[in-house]
Structure 1
Amino acid sequence: MPVHLIPRPSQDRGNADHGWLKTFHTFSFADYYDPEHSSFGSLRVINEDRVQPGTGFGTHAHKEFEIWSYVVSGELEHRDSLGNVEILKRGDVQLTSAGTGVRHSEHTAGTVPVHFLQIWARPSTAHLQPAYYTRHFSDAEKEDKWAKVVAPISAPGVKGEREGEGPTPVHAGVTMYASLLSPGKTLSHAVPGAADEQQRKAYVHLIQTSGYNEGAAKGNEVRLTGAGQEVSLREGDGAYVLAGGGEQLGVENVGEGRAEVVLFDVDVE
C-alpha cells in the first residue's frame, strides 16, 4: 500500500477561547464533535492547550485512558490522587495510566502561560492499576532527529519506572516522536510493520510555537512527502498518514524558523 497523506488543517479543528484557556482539538472533545475526526487507531485526543497563569483544570476523574502531557513552554503543575505533585517544564513528558480510576488537576505554575499538548490513547489492556511516569527530553536530543518520547511498555528498551531515561511507557499501541527541525533540514521516518501489511497508521502535527494563530498562514512550515504525494503543514496543522509497513515518510522544514514536529505511529485496531 503506497503512502496516503490526508491533511488536517488547524482551522478545521475544534477550538475554543475561554479566556483562561485557548485550545484546539484534533479529535472530537468536550463540546466539539465530528464523526469523521473522533479517533485514529488507539489515539483518542490530541489537544493543543494554552492556559493562563493562576488558572487551570480543577480536580477531575479519569479511567481506562492513557493520558500524557508534552510541555512546549511555561510550567504545568500536576497533582493527583496517587500523591504525585510535580512542576513540569519544557521538554517534560508526564503520563498518567488512569486504569481503574484516578483524579488529577493541572494548573499553570509561574507567571507566564503554559503551552502543552494533551494526548489520550485507549489502553491495550483494561482494568490496569493506575500509574504515573515522567521523562525529560532536552532540545539537543530532538535537534534535527527524531527523539522517541513515548513508546509501548512492552517494546524493547522501554522501562516501566516512574522516572528515568528512555521513552515514557504507555499501555497502548502508540509510539510518539518529537523533533526540532532546522530550516532546510529533512527527516525520514519508516512506517513500522512488515512490507506486506495492507495498512499502517501515523499522524504528524506541527506545533504552534509562534503563538496562538487562529489558523492564520504564519509561522513555521513543513512539507510531508511519500510515494509521490506532498502535503504542506503550517503551524497547528496535522496530517493522517496511511501506509504499508516499511514505507518512507519525509518531513522537510521549508520555513524560516525552527519547526517543532511530533509524529505518532499508531497500531491499526
Structure 2
Amino acid sequence: MSQGAKIVPRRSQERGHVEYSWLKSFHTFSFATYQDWNHEQHGPLRVINEDRVAAHTGFGTHGHREFEIFSYIVSGQLEHQDSMGNTEILSRGSVQLTSAGTGIRHSEKAYGAKDAHFLQIWSLPSTPRLTPKYYTRRFTDEEKTDAWVRVVAPAGTKGASQEREADGPAPVHSALTMYATLLNPGKTVSQAMQGAKGYVQVVQTSGYNTAKATGAAVRLSSGDQEVELKEGDGAYLTFPSGSFNVDVENVGERSAEVILFDLE
C-alpha cells in the first residue's frame, strides 16, 4: 500500500458560519468576517462556502477580479446576472464558472419560491489579467450515481471546452480539477490523483445543521490513512511523493453527495 498520504479532517461544526435573515453560510476557508490563519487556502483553492439563500433574496450586484468563481447547485434555483451580459437561471446539477480576470460585476439570487442551496467556490488563477469569461455546464444525477464525474478541469486539458455551454467539465484557469459523485450505501469510488494536494467535501444535503455532522457517512482513504466524514465535513489531502488514489466508500444508510478537488 502507498505510504505518505496525509488526511486532515475539517469538521462541519468547526467551519466559519454566518446566519442572517436571508443567508445561512458555512466557510471552509477565511472569508469576510470569518478569519482563521489555519484555514486560508489549499493549493489554488481559496473559498468553499456552503450557501443557503432565502427565496427572492441573494447577493446584490458586486465586483470581483483575479478569481475563478464557480457555483455547484445542490437544490433550488439560482439566478445569475453579470456585466458581460449573461443572465441565466441555474438548477440542480448546474455548474457555472466565471473567470473574473480583469474585473466583472455580478449578482446571484434565489429564483422562485424555494431557497437556493449551492457551493460557492473560488480559486486563484494561474495567469493574471485574463479576459473575463462565463461558462455553464449541466450534469444529471444519473451521471454522478456511483461514479466520479469531472465537472471542472483546467482550461486546455482534454474535454474542457472553452465554449460558453458544452458537454464535459467547465474550464478553469487554475491547477484544479473538481469531481462530483452521488454515492449509494455500500458503494465505493476511486480516483487517481495527479496533484500534490486534494480536498474532499461531503455536501450537507439532508438539512441545515450547525452542530456535529450527521446524515450520510463516508469513509475516505488514501495510502495508509483513513477517516470517516459526514454531511458538512471535509478533509485536506496532501501527497508528499509518488502517485496516490483516493477512495470514498459510503458506510452509511443514505446516498452521499461528495465533491473531490485534485490540486497542484
For the aligned pair, the TM-score class normalised by the smaller chain equals over 0.9
2:244 corresponding residue in structure 1: 247
* 1:220 pairs with 2:216: yes
* Distance in 1 (alpha carbons) for counterparts of 2:174 and 2:23: 28
Q: Which moved more, 1:102-111 or 1:184-193?
A: 184-193
* Distance in 2 (alpha carbons) for counterparts of 1:135 and 1:255: 30
Q: 1:61 aligned to 44, 60, 63, which one? A: 63
Runs (4+) of structure 1 exceeding 4 A deviation are none
Kindly report which structure 2 residues correspond to 1:98-137, keeping only aligned pairs within 5 A, or say none. 98-137=100-139
* 1:23 pairs with 2:25: yes
In structure 2, stretches of 5+ residues that fail to align are none
Change (3 A) 1:192 1:111: same
Letter in 2 for 1:147: V
Kindly report which structure 2 residues correspond to 1:1-269, keeping only aligned pairs within 5 A, or say none. 2-192=4-194, 200-243=196-239, 244-267=241-264
* Distance in 1 (alpha carbons) for counterparts of 2:233 and 2:213: 10
Q: Which moved more, 1:62-71 or 1:154-163?
A: 154-163
Letter in 2 for 1:227: G
The structural deviation recorded for 1:151 is: 0.2
Specify the SS of the correspondent of 1:27: coil
Q: Which string of whole-angstrom CA distances, capped at 9 and with x for unpartnered residues, describes residues 75-127 of structure 1?
A: 00000000000000000000000000000000000101000000000001100
Letter in 1 for 2:65: K
1:197 corresponding residue in structure 2: none
The structural deviation recorded for 1:157 is: 2.2
* Distance in 2 (alpha carbons) for counterparts of 1:72 and 1:95: 15
* Distance in 2 (alpha carbons) for counterparts of 1:146 and 1:64: 29
* Distance in 2 (alpha carbons) for counterparts of 1:132 and 1:120: 14
Check conservation: 2:178, 2:260, Cα contact below 8 A.
yes
TM-score (norm 2): 0.97
The structural deviation recorded for 1:19 is: 1.8
Change (3 A) 1:245 1:113: farther
Check conservation: 1:209, 1:235, Cα contact below 8 A.
yes
* Distance in 2 (alpha carbons) for counterparts of 1:263 and 1:28: 20
Letter in 2 for 1:184: G
Specify the SS of the correspondent of 2:13: helix
The structural deviation recorded for 1:216 is: 3.0
Identical-residue share of aligned pairs (%): 59
Specify the SS of the correspondent of 1:232: strand
In structure 1, stretches of 5+ residues that fail to align are 194-199
* Distance in 1 (alpha carbons) for counterparts of 2:17 and 2:179: 24
Check conservation: 2:13, 2:213, Cα contact below 8 A.
no
The structural deviation recorded for 1:156 is: 1.8
Check conservation: 2:213, 2:233, Cα contact below 8 A.
no
* Distance in 1 (alpha carbons) for counterparts of 2:211 and 2:5: 26
Specify the SS of the correspondent of 2:162: coil
* Distance in 2 (alpha carbons) for counterparts of 1:173 and 1:251: 22
* Distance in 1 (alpha carbons) for counterparts of 2:212 and 2:7: 22
CA RMSD between the two structures: 0.9
* Distance in 1 (alpha carbons) for counterparts of 2:237 and 2:22: 33
The structural deviation recorded for 1:258 is: 0.5
Q: Which string of whole-angstrom CA distances, capped at 9 and with x for unpartnered residues, describes residues 133-154 of structure 1?
A: 0000000110100000000012
